[in-house]
Amino acid sequence: MPVSAAKKGTWALGAAIVLIIVAVVALPLIASTQIVRDGIARQLSIWSGYQVELGQSPRIQVWPSFRAVLHDVDFVDRRAPNGSPVIEAERVDVDLSALAALRGEIIFTRIYFVRPTILVANTRGLLLLPPTPRSGKLAQSVDVARSLLAANSSSPDTSSLPVDPFGTVEIEGGKIRSAQKGEIVSGLSAKLNWSALNRPATLSASGIWHGEGVTIEASAEQPLLLFAGGNTPIKMTLSAAPMTASFEGLANVSADPFADGQLKLSSPSLRRLLEWTGFDANPSNAVGSFALAAKFTGNGKRGKFENAQLALDGNSGTGVLDMAFSPVPPKVTGTLAFKSLDLPSFLAAFTPLPPDPKSAETSISTSEANGFNLDLRLSAAAATAGSIKLSDIAATAQVKDGLAAFDISDARAFGGNIQFGMRVDRQIGDNLVELRMSAEDIKGSELAAMLGAKEFIPQGSGTLSIILKGTGREWNSVLESADGSVSGTFGKGTIPGIELAAFLSRNAKGGFFPLSEVSGGSLAIEGAEIKATISKGVARIDKAEARSGKSVISLGGLIPFAGRGIALSGTIAPAAPTESGDDARAVFFVGGSWSDPFVSPVLPGLPPR
């Protein structure tokens, strides 16, 4: 009598259940007789290319997954002279394919490292990896990829890549260290998903580097080609408190690594970023936020940032940048154009300009000239330097071997044209500082407003030249030690703070009096000229003359920067000689301080007519 379909189904289901039970019961036996006998350590060695040593025999788990638990695991580089491990792990859990085990094969589906210490060979590379083994399935697969690249570097035959399954590799509580630098990364957690050697791979990792938590997400279309020195599409993002970064494009990690794609970098503080990455930064300058987006092309020695969009402390510009990573120190060159630019905040990262050009108490540091070389060409439609407003500016910023320099070759300011240069050269014990300024057709009123001086500066149009060279670690000491010269000429206008009639009248009475007593008006002038020589911070007035109507006012003497004192003698005489030959209408002495000068008549002279 034929068996019914229902009974056949029941028998099939029962047979399947029996087979499953037999398989589950048989797995420990298979594991103990086949897997352990053949050696999981040997299979790990075959894959990695390192000699794998176990502190004790593997322990097999069947449920909830088929797993071998290994303790005190060392991956040893056979080429190392002392046979030291390149990876040491307290425990390694190896998930295995149960079906493959039933066939007597070992196929890893997941490898989980617990508290491993990884010794890296090179801390300057793009990847922190142990020494590359010469043997092993992974190394052999990379060799296959390398041969495919040799046959056709631009379009290798990816269909010929090895197809071996790989699986997942995870790390918990790991460390990365080098023999030279000690511990580099701590608290490492990572997960690599790579289903097969000819398939894409993804990596997520986090750890602590230089005291900051770092998270990395990355993916590669063809990892084997990447490791073999070929180009493959990759995506990568890095997140940390001092910096976020992303890259998408082609890359390789060969001995001469290469990248070509879109790069983005941002940091809330460039100073903090430089300190975190190991570059010297000027501790006296609070450098603000930084962001860069560009088409990046480069290798391990040089990189080019095209169509760069740069933002530094609120200053946004576009241009092209080149960076040479080798030889050390790195060198940055380029051209940047800005619509508007705050010069002190932008240059604070590169040159020792004070935040406010009027500040003389700011310290001068050339530490920013230690970690890199810089050569930038800058242009801006509008710019500010403290209270100074500039337009149509063309400038350069340079840093090299302890020398920091900033030059404005052309700009509109104070109603005219100016050129400005500053150099700070680190010397033994002190900084050598040089300042140069040349101005043409400027308005004295705008210059006075910038200096915050309401009095005694000619308000007409004129020219001005300043050359100073001094030494020191702050601007005050530089000015107090400076040598140089100051010269200027001004046309028709006024000098606020001097009322000539009141001055002559008060001077004729004799006795000391503060200059503020006769400063209620302005002196109308046809022109003014000043020439001064500066030596050791003291300005010697060679000529200071203003022509006003039928009178000429002349000054001479000394103005030291230290102490802000004044020691001047002056005369007021007719512009044309008198018949009597007695030209002087008044001779006087000016002393006191810059902020509170006083007058002492020497020759009271004649009161005004």
Q: From 104, 103, 109, 100, select the one nearest 67 (Cα to Cα).
A: 109
| Residues 289-298 pLDDT 10s | 889 999 999 9
| CA-angle at 318, arms to 312 and 324, nearest 5° | 80
Take residue 493 and report the two structure tokens written for it: 């206008």
pLDDT band per the 50, 70, 90 thresholds, residue 241: very high
CA terminus-to-terminus distance, the chain: 151
Is pLDDT at 247 greater than 80 in this prediction? yes
Distance (Å, whole) CA 171 – CA 188: 7
- Whether a cis peptide bond, with omega within 30° of 0, leads into 329 is yes
Mean pLDDT value of segment 56-78: 81
Is pLDDT at 126 greater than 90 in this prediction? no
pLDDT band per the 50, 70, 90 thresholds, residue 181: confident
Take residue 244 and report the two structure tokens written for it: 């976020």
At 10, give phi and psi (nearest 5°): -65, -45
Distance (Å, whole) CA 44 – CA 52: 7
Q: 373 and 400 in contact (C-beta within 8 Å)?
A: yes
Is pLDDT at 134 greater than 80 in this prediction? no
Mean pLDDT value of segment 339-352: 75
Count of all residues that appear for the chain in the document: 609
| Residues 70-108 pLDDT 10s | 899 999 987 766 777 889 999 999 887 766 665 656 778
pLDDT band per the 50, 70, 90 thresholds, residue 192: very high
Query: What is the reported pLDDT for 571?
Result: 92
Is pLDDT at 285 greater than 70 in this prediction? no
pLDDT band per the 50, 70, 90 thresholds, residue 447: confident
Cβ neighbours, 10 Å, residue 185: 19
pLDDT band per the 50, 70, 90 thresholds, residue 21: low
| Residues 547-602 pLDDT 10s | 998 889 999 999 998 888 899 999 998 877 655 554 567 899 999 888 889 999 98
